[in-house]
Structure 1
Amino acid sequence: MKIITTWVETTSRESLLQQFATKQWFWLALFGLSLFSILSFIGGRLLVDADTLWHIAAGKWILANHAVPATDPFSFSFHGAKWVPHEWLAEVILGASHAWLGWAGPVLVTALATAVTLTVLLRFLLRYIEPLHAFAVTLLAFLTLAQHLLARPHALAWPLMVIWAAHLVLAREQGKRPSLWLPVVMLAWANLHGSFLLGIGLAGALAVEAFLTEGHPRRSARAWAPFLALTVLAALLTPNGVDGLLFPFHVSGMSFSLSIISEWKSPDFRLIQPIELWLGFVLFGALYFGFRLPATRILMCFGLVHLALAFARYAELPGLLAPLLLMPSVGPQLRAAIRPEIKPRLSPRSIRTITALCMALFMGSIAFLAKGIQHDQSRVLPREAVNAAMAAGAAGPVFNSYNFGGYLIFSGIAPLIDGRADLYGDDFVRRYMAAYSGDAKVLHALIQEYKIRWAVLEPSSPASKLIDGLPGWRKVHEDTNAVAYIRGQ
């Protein structure tokens, strides 16, 4: 009797699993869980950026003070100056996750946001093209964002970006006004990251497209105008108000700072870049199959590609957004050009095996995160140098490397400069870079003006070599990543 009962229960479970396997959501869930798990296992790779440290510190400051700062609370050089913390909500999420789970926290939320982003993208693509093709496009999208896959606010905004664009495109496809719940997405996006301005621009472009192509300009205007007004209103509902809306324009005007920060430079095509691979695949497909696309969508994609080629930090925009804009037109043409693929019929055993492997991978990632992640990226964590300087009596203002500013803030030490170039402005950044690059006159002036008492820099930096030769300064630590100096009385 027990054998019969066990057989019935097992058969029932297998039957239920087979029923699930016929549902699209089942495979999407396995895809999302697997991607989350893989990103969790490479969690250390998500922590290589110095800005992650000050973002976490800012989030903890907001949680501790129950307020969003309007002036700089961290540096000594600009302490009390006006600051626009336009990513405050993402910083709260990063800070809270670090407080609860250590370094596993920021890795978890970043991996989760990325998995949700690509799963939503895949779900949208499956409306128009076969699963194999949809998966290939999603893989290309992942390649474009891989270099910018960091535990920072922009990654937390990716899911909202894709949800926003997908629903706008669906509204255009159906000839309807966008849902009035979408401004709620904009509200969250505007408090997470400054890329929300792209969302407003995309909504405006699609509204213009509706006005020009639907054949009923007045009706299109009446449908889209209230939505655009609500979108802009939602973008203003942040602690920064109008300053938050104007912030991207402020940053784009900082020509000197943008020219020296690596992620704001154009991609270096002397090396193979993900955006280059993406463009190659897209051009090959368009030319080989002869896709015909609406002029408005081509122009929108040109805009995305321009941003990706002008600034390395925008490489993911074509990968995430161009498929959403183009697939309603490309999908039917691709289906007509390629015979629909034969859908494989998986045996119950194969379904069980795939499901078990995905769940084992997911449970393993949870155990891995629960064990904790060690942040050992010494390039942005000059622990030994700072500890040695503190032990030797370092106190007061510090002359620090730009890349070490995040660690100093995270450690409760006020830096001269850090990754918030928007706070410091072009003039100060230019002075700092002159001193860092070996201009002895400017370095001496900064030391005198800010009463610098110690320094922590990369050993290879020109500024460290200058300080090493200054009278009254002594070296207290040096390793392959950082050197520390203290100024005598």
Structure 2
Amino acid sequence: MKTNTTWGGATGTDSVLQQCARQRWFWPALYGISVFSILSFAGARLLVDADTLWHIAAGKWILANRAVPATDPFSFSFHGAKWVPHEWLAEVILAASHAWLGWAGPVLVTALATALALTVQLRFLLRYIEPLHAFSATLLTFLTLAQHLVARPHAMAWPLMVIWTAQLVLAREQNRRPSLWLLVVMLAWANLHGSFLLGIGLAAALAIEAILTEKLPLRSAREWAPFLALTVVAGLLTPHGVDGLLFPFHVSGMSYTLSVIGEWKPPDFRLVQPVELWLGIVLFGALYFGFRLPAMRIVMCFGLVHLTLTAARYAELLGLLAPLLLMPSVGPQLRAAIRPEIKLQLSPPLLRTLTALCVALFMTSIVLLAKGIQHDHRRIQPREAINAAMAAGGGGPVFNSYNFGGYLIFSGIAPLIDGRADLYGDDFVRRYMKAHSGDAKALQDMFEEYRIRWAVLEPGSPALKWIDGLPGWRKVHEDDVAVAYVLGR
């Protein structure tokens, strides 16, 4: 008769769990499952951004036409103008997931990408610090992601960003050239999101570090130079070529647009910001423990901090990448500074309970996603207002609120403007914002030039007062989401 082997009074199952807990993959796996499950439960919270709607519509267009558009197929104001859909692959994934699972599809993709990014980060950190400290670091990372955690292409780039940076850092730690398989990561990243340019910059910075600090700088240069060249080539292998590589520079040059779009504004420190907490804890640790860091890593982190203070959306870069860049130096110093070391040691029953709970959460989240998720964020879906306008004879060119553009495209209606600010450019965005703010001349010029026939605007839009006074225009719908006007009859 077989009996369970024991270890320290525990059953064979407990022994297996305790052995697993000593491995660097066990805690990241549980953590990743937990993050995925929590985000799946959050579900509709990931769908609050209006841009998700036009991203899905763009992906559907690509799948239907089996081509990536080079000109705008959606708006009437810029129809046929040059457009660089640099996130085309992510849009295809979003569209395919939506077609397969409804709104649960984009939620599934976003939750999976976020969980994978944090799992890879935690596994990397466990090389250098104890699980409790590593968990704390990834928790801070999650806080920096939270404000920009929506079903959009940038979230799908997070795991590639972490894998890329972690492998480059490991290559530096081992004094070797990065593996060529990373070029596949860069190729996918370049077709998912424009942040791939940051990956090229990180590779260049670490190559410079290798050349300046290694005993054989010429050998380091010979090892890194071909990799950097191939990295740039991989970044160019998109449907847009050089335009894709230059896209981030185009966006960063749109000074007015970046000043009026919320996610591109600097963090508002009048309110407590996750990045403020992140910076405070890191600064406290650096001053209290007196960490010494390589000069190039300090420069790179200063660059990430600068980006974060420039635009709130960049906080995710600081949270994801700074721990990877700093931990090879900080980890050993932290281990030496904390005595006795605080280790995550769980009793067998507690470890078994924790594992069962994570598995139960995961299975429940899968059932929840399979049942479907309702997209009930009316704020970005003026469905009733548009239906009323169509029933009242509305159609043709529309004057719409910026946040309604995504829903209009998703509904097959050409908007005046939407979230693709890079398409419209600074001049048009400035002109639109002036009209939307109620400037009579700007409104009149825009209505005449584009022959506006109906309007759907947020209730607080100053332009409503001007439209209300126009002869021949009548209000056909008003609620807490949108107000609709139609010209004629």
Query: Which position in structure 2 is the counterpart of 1:106?
Result: 106
Contact 2:385 2:482 in 1 (8 A): yes
Query: Which position in structure 2 is the counterpart of 1:419?
Result: 419
Residue 207 of structure 2 aligns with an amino acid whose one-letter code is A
1:381 and 2:381 aligned: yes
Query: Which position in structure 1 is the counterpart of 2:153?
Result: 153
Query: Which position in structure 2 is the counterpart of 1:396?
Result: 396
* Distance in 1 between residues matched to 2:209 and 2:25, nearest whole Å: 32
Contact 1:130 1:340 in 2 (8 A): no
Q: Deviations over 1:192-242 (max 9, x none)?
A: 000000000111111111111112221111010000000000000000000
Query: Which position in structure 1 is the counterpart of 2:234?
Result: 234
* Distance in 1 between residues matched to 2:2 and 2:171, nearest whole Å: 51
Tell me how far 1:417 sits from its aligned partner. 0.4
Q: Deviations over 1:162-191 (max 9, x none)?
A: 100001111111110111111111000000
* Distance in 2 between residues matched to 1:206 and 1:353, nearest whole Å: 43
* Distance in 2 between residues matched to 1:207 and 1:253, nearest whole Å: 28
Residue 95 of structure 2 aligns with an amino acid whose one-letter code is G
Q: Deviations over 1:62-113 (max 9, x none)?
A: 0111100000000011111110000000000111001111111000000000
* Distance in 1 between residues matched to 2:272 and 2:16, nearest whole Å: 46
* Distance in 1 between residues matched to 2:344 and 2:386, nearest whole Å: 59
Cα pair distance change 1:355/1:433, threshold 3 Å: same
Gaps of 5+ in 1: none
Residue 284 of structure 1 aligns with an amino acid whose one-letter code is F
* Distance in 1 between residues matched to 2:437 and 2:256, nearest whole Å: 15
Q: Structure 1 residue runs of 4+, over 6 Å off? A: 4-8
Cα pair distance change 1:289/1:428, threshold 3 Å: same
Tell me how far 1:20 sits from its aligned partner. 3.5
The SS at the match of 1:282 is helix
Contact 2:160 2:185 in 1 (8 A): yes
* Distance in 2 between residues matched to 1:20 and 1:333, nearest whole Å: 26
Query: Which position in structure 2 is the counterpart of 1:243?
Result: 243
Query: Which position in structure 1 is the counterpart of 2:189?
Result: 189
Residue 262 of structure 2 aligns with an amino acid whose one-letter code is S
- How many residue pairs get aligned? The number is 485
Query: Which position in structure 2 is the counterpart of 1:69?
Result: 69
* Distance in 1 between residues matched to 2:24 and 2:148, nearest whole Å: 29
Query: Which position in structure 2 is the counterpart of 1:459?
Result: 459
* Distance in 2 between residues matched to 1:462 and 1:345, nearest whole Å: 60
Tell me how far 1:436 sits from its aligned partner. 0.3
Cα pair distance change 1:344/1:276, threshold 3 Å: closer
* Distance in 1 between residues matched to 2:48 and 2:226, nearest whole Å: 43
Tell me how far 1:12 sits from its aligned partner. 5.9
Residue 352 of structure 1 aligns with an amino acid whose one-letter code is R
TM-score for the superposition, normalised by structure 1: 0.96
Alignment of 1:155-304 (within 5 A): 155-304=155-304
Contact 1:41 1:365 in 2 (8 A): yes
Cα pair distance change 1:215/1:16, threshold 3 Å: closer
Tell me how far 1:295 sits from its aligned partner. 1.1
The SS at the match of 1:424 is helix
Cα pair distance change 1:292/1:20, threshold 3 Å: closer
* Distance in 2 between residues matched to 1:109 and 1:454, nearest whole Å: 36
* Distance in 2 between residues matched to 1:263 and 1:299, nearest whole Å: 25
Cα pair distance change 1:360/1:167, threshold 3 Å: same
Alignment of 1:324-473 (within 5 A): 324-341=324-341, 343=343, 345-473=345-473
Cα pair distance change 1:467/1:6, threshold 3 Å: farther
* Distance in 1 between residues matched to 2:179 and 2:248, nearest whole Å: 26
* Distance in 1 between residues matched to 2:67 and 2:457, nearest whole Å: 33
Cα pair distance change 1:340/1:129, threshold 3 Å: farther
* Distance in 1 between residues matched to 2:272 and 2:126, nearest whole Å: 29
Alignment of 1:24-35 (within 5 A): 24-35=24-35
Moved more, 223-232 or 445-454: 445-454
Cα pair distance change 1:25/1:99, threshold 3 Å: same
Moved more, 80-89 or 10-19: 10-19
* Distance in 1 between residues matched to 2:63 and 2:77, nearest whole Å: 24
Cα pair distance change 1:24/1:206, threshold 3 Å: closer
Residue 305 of structure 1 aligns with an amino acid whose one-letter code is V
* Distance in 2 between residues matched to 1:30 and 1:477, nearest whole Å: 50
The SS at the match of 1:291 is coil
* Distance in 2 between residues matched to 1:212 and 1:387, nearest whole Å: 64
* Distance in 1 between residues matched to 2:179 and 2:345, nearest whole Å: 38
* Distance in 1 between residues matched to 2:323 and 2:15, nearest whole Å: 36
1:477 and 2:477 aligned: yes
Q: CA RMSD in A?
A: 1.6
Contact 2:131 2:344 in 1 (8 A): no
The SS at the match of 1:477 is strand
* Distance in 2 between residues matched to 1:215 and 1:464, nearest whole Å: 69
Moved more, 61-70 or 14-23: 14-23
Cα pair distance change 1:148/1:399, threshold 3 Å: same
Tell me how far 1:341 sits from its aligned partner. 2.8
* Distance in 2 between residues matched to 1:16 and 1:291, nearest whole Å: 37
TM-score for the superposition, normalised by structure 2: 0.96
The SS at the match of 2:215 is coil
Query: Which position in structure 2 is the counterpart of 1:95?
Result: 95
Tell me how far 1:459 sits from its aligned partner. 1.1
Residue 258 of structure 1 aligns with an amino acid whose one-letter code is L
* Distance in 2 between residues matched to 1:270 and 1:252, nearest whole Å: 25
Residue 438 of structure 1 aligns with an amino acid whose one-letter code is G
Cα pair distance change 1:369/1:177, threshold 3 Å: same
* Distance in 2 between residues matched to 1:302 and 1:265, nearest whole Å: 19
Tell me how far 1:6 sits from its aligned partner. 10
Tell me how far 1:282 sits from its aligned partner. 0.5
* Distance in 2 between residues matched to 1:346 and 1:147, nearest whole Å: 33
Residue 321 of structure 2 aligns with an amino acid whose one-letter code is L
Cα pair distance change 1:28/1:487, threshold 3 Å: same
Tell me how far 1:17 sits from its aligned partner. 4.2
* Distance in 1 between residues matched to 2:142 and 2:340, nearest whole Å: 25
The SS at the match of 2:73 is coil
The SS at the match of 2:271 is coil
Residue 416 of structure 2 aligns with an amino acid whose one-letter code is L
Query: Which position in structure 1 is the counterpart of 2:59?
Result: 59
Query: Which position in structure 1 is the counterpart of 2:143?
Result: 143
Gaps of 5+ in 2: none
Residue 417 of structure 1 aligns with an amino acid whose one-letter code is I
